[in-house]
Chain A
């Protein structure tokens, strides 16, 4: 069971990746360029960091898939909420 888990080295490696991604995020925050592109990059970086924490630190990568389904289902609801919001925005005025 222990063998199926991440090792200490994996945890440290993920930590370095999280630190680097955070540094990139903060660097991007001080640049102004295409606003839409900037938002997409920043959200992508945040999703990558969240994914690293969920997969390795919360062990979703090694656990039964049902736990990923339980945790992922609300995210599907978020997407539905955002789509409804976008339609609401587009049909205003």
Chain B
């Protein structure tokens, strides 16, 4: 008769102090790491088994993308400052969230401009293996940035309406996702543009 209440109440958290949502978020991020790892290893395999690979620095606009990389890093800083602010009860945290989302949108805008330039130069996903892998990797990353921007905009609106006053796990989870997307870009920038 009282077994039902006993089972729901007596499940102990094996990791004291850790919100289950955060644990779940990391499991999700692990699956995302595997997703991008698969793409990156595929790129490396194709690149080293293809005899004619273009000199990427001749094709890609490295200064532009370096600036874009910097923008994404700044957005990560804005995100972490939002988290720091909400943790300390600082009421300016929604502005940091807004800054993060805006920087994310600027990143996407620059990437769209870069793609447009490349397509006009005749480099399309169907052009060669470089085109196919380049658009696949940057495209999937861009989709993740877009998803992150939507999530952070939702968080921002909720924050301006007085949300996250009692618990700020929502800001923390959005932050974890955003930083993950930044980490992926750190590797993609090196592997696609610099090597």
State whether these chains interact.
yes
Chain A residues packing against B (C-beta within 8 Å)? 1-2, 5, 7-8, 11-12, 15, 18-19, 22, 25-26, 28-30, 38-39, 42-43, 45-46, 49-50, 53-54, 56-58, 63-64, 66-67, 70-71, 73-75, 77-78, 81-82, 85, 89
Q: Look across to chain A and name the residue whose beta carbon is closest to the beta carbon of B56.
A: A29
- If the complex has contacts A42-B194, A58-B179, are A70 and B37 also in contact, measured as CB distance less than 8 A? no
Are B81 and A57 in contact, with the CB atoms below 8 A?
no
Known: A54-B179, A70-B27, A82-B44. 7 other contacts (CB 8 A): A11-B80, A42-B194, A46-B190, A56-B80, A58-B175, A70-B30, A71-B29
Contact across chains for A5 and B87 when beta carbons are under 8 A apart: yes
The 9 A-B pairs of least Cβ separation, nearest first, read A46-B190, A74-B33, A29-B194, A78-B37, A15-B77, A74-B34, A26-B66, A70-B26, A57-B179
Q: In the complex, which of the residues B74, B175, B180, B186 has the most CB atoms of chain A within 10 Å of its own CB atom? A: B186
Contact residues of A: prevailing secondary structure: helix
How many residues in B have their beta carbons less than 8 Å from beta carbons of A? 48
Known contacts A39-B195, A57-B76, A25 near B179 by CB under 8 Å: no
